[in-house]
């Protein structure tokens, strides 16, 4: 079993290839304490991701051209940037995005075209501007919040605007109820800046830095979750961190990997686990298994009742 994660090992191999080094399977296997088969699988993944840029002689590989890792990494940033600019309207004179940022996105769009999941339509740009001001100067605000079920009013201490799951949230403390909240900005009907200011709590700031999903729970003790990923889908988890806390902690000889997450609420992983079933197994903890089973039973019941 590898002492280093599969992702770390693959990146190191890529860097060595970019340096023009000749890499041999048996030597790498010995160095990383894994099987020859695991190293061959690493090279297969690298070829799948970056195309044919390596020559093979026996069990040794050497690159005949460099992989532009920097360009690959910057594409992700450009995608996020482009989507955010799209939401606010790139041609709007009152856009909250700077002219320099707009120019960067417009230039990149001549090369890139991103097709992503639907993003919410941000029409209340004035609310965004008021929130920016309130966050910058630690100002208490009054909010009228309207969902399909109710209209609520609250005094609120805004800490940060978060972009999570294709939605914008304002996060902070509901003063009226003395609790941490996520509020969808698109559902803010009215916002009034007050003359009151507040002192930001360090524990709230620390929590915000660790937030991974809108289902994170402030004040809840974080737990570790371990999932075993089938070899047929391992490449997706090596390529992408489904949550920022994701870490590959084991690499098995049959090609499976074990990934670890740290969450404050099991619901943060529910969608991911259900999406990849049955190619994913919950190794720990047991209560998460029960929660997923209960969720699946509820979905199946709803499906059967709809016919």
Chain centroid offset of residue 149 CA: 29
pTM of the predicted model as reported, rounded to 2 decimal places: 0.68
Question: For residue 17, what pLDDT is reported?
Answer: 87
Same domain, 27 and 77: no
* 207 lies in some domain: no
* 50 lies in some domain: yes
Number of domains in the chain: 4
Closest Cα partner for 158 from 129, 187, 181, 190?
Answer: 181
* pLDDT tens by residue, 235-253: 999 888 899 999 999 999 9
* pLDDT tens by residue, 202-212: 999 999 999 99
Spatial contact of 238 and 248, defined as CB atoms under 8 Å apart = yes
Question: For residue 225, what pLDDT is reported?
Answer: 98
Task: Walk along the chain (307 residues) in steps of 10 and give the mean pLDDT of each run.
Answer: 61 84 93 89 79 85 70 49 53 49 61 59 75 92 91 95 86 94 92 94 95 95 96 91 93 94 96 95 95 92 77
Same domain, 297 and 229: yes
Question: For residue 172, what pLDDT is reported?
Answer: 97
Same domain, 188 and 132: yes
Same domain, 133 and 185: yes
* 301 lies in some domain: yes
* 100 lies in some domain: yes
Domain of 44?
6-63
66-75's contacts with Cβ under 8 Å and 24+ in sequence apart are: 66/18, 67/14, 67/17, 67/18, 69/14, 69/18, 75/112
C-alpha span between 146 and 108 (Å, rounded): 37
* 203 lies in some domain: no
Burial bucket for residue 63 (CB in 10 Å: 0-12, 13-18, 19+): buried
Return the CATH number at 166.
Answer: 2.30.30.100
Question: For residue 95, what pLDDT is reported?
Answer: 46
Question: For residue 3, what pLDDT is reported?
Answer: 47
The separation between the first and the last C-alpha atoms of the chain, rounded to the nearest angstrom, is: 48
Question: For residue 168, what pLDDT is reported?
Answer: 87
Burial bucket for residue 90 (CB in 10 Å: 0-12, 13-18, 19+): middle
Return the CATH number at 248.
Answer: 3.30.70
Would you list the DSSP string of 109-164? TTT-----S-------HHHHHHHHHHHHTTEEEEEEEE-SS-EEEEEEEEEEEEEE
* 1 lies in some domain: no
Residue 138 φ then ψ, to 5°: 50, 50
Question: For residue 120, what pLDDT is reported?
Answer: 62
Same domain, 170 and 229: no
* 89 lies in some domain: yes
Question: For residue 109, what pLDDT is reported?
Answer: 61
Same domain, 229 and 292: yes
Question: For residue 4, what pLDDT is reported?
Answer: 54
């Amino acid at each position: 079993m590898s002492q280093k994660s599969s992702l770390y090992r693959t990146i190191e191999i890529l860097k060595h290839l970019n340096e023009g080094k000749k890499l041999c399977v048996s030597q790498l296997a010995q160095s990383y304490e894994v099987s020859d088969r695991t190293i061959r699988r690493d090279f297969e993944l690298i070829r799948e991701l970056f195309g044919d840029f390596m020559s093979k002689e026996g069990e040794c590989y050497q690159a005949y051209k460099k992989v532009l890792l920097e360009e690959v990494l910057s594409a992700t940033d450009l995608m996020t940037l482009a989507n955010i600019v799209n939401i606010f309207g790139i041609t709007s004179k009152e856009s909250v995005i700077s002219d320099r940022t707009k120019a960067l996105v417009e230039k990149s769009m001549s090369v890139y075209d991103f097709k992503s999941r639907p993003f919410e339509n941000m029409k209340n740009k004035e609310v965004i501007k008021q929130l920016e001001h309130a966050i910058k100067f630690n100002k208490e605000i009054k909010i009228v919040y309207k969902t399909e079920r109710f209209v609520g009013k609250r005094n609120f201490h805004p800490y940060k605007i978060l972009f999570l799951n294709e939605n914008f949230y304002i996060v902070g403390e509901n003063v009226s109820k003395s609790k941490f909240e996520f509020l969808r900005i698109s559902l803010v009907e009215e916002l009034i800046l007050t003359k009151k200011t507040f002192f930001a709590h360090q524990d709230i700031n620390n929590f915000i830095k660790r937030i991974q999903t809108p289902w994170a729970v402030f004040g809840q003790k974080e737990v570790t979750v371990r999932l075993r990923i089938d070899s047929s889908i391992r490449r997706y988890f090596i390529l992408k961190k489904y949550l920022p806390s994701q870490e590959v902690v084991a690499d098995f000889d049959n090609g499976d990997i074990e990934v670890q997450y740290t969450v404050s609420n099991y619901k943060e992983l529910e969608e991911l686990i259900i999406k990849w079933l049955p190619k994913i197994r919950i190794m720990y903890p047991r209560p998460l298994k029960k929660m997923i089973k209960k969720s699946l039973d509820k979905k199946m019941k709803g499906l059967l009742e709809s016919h």
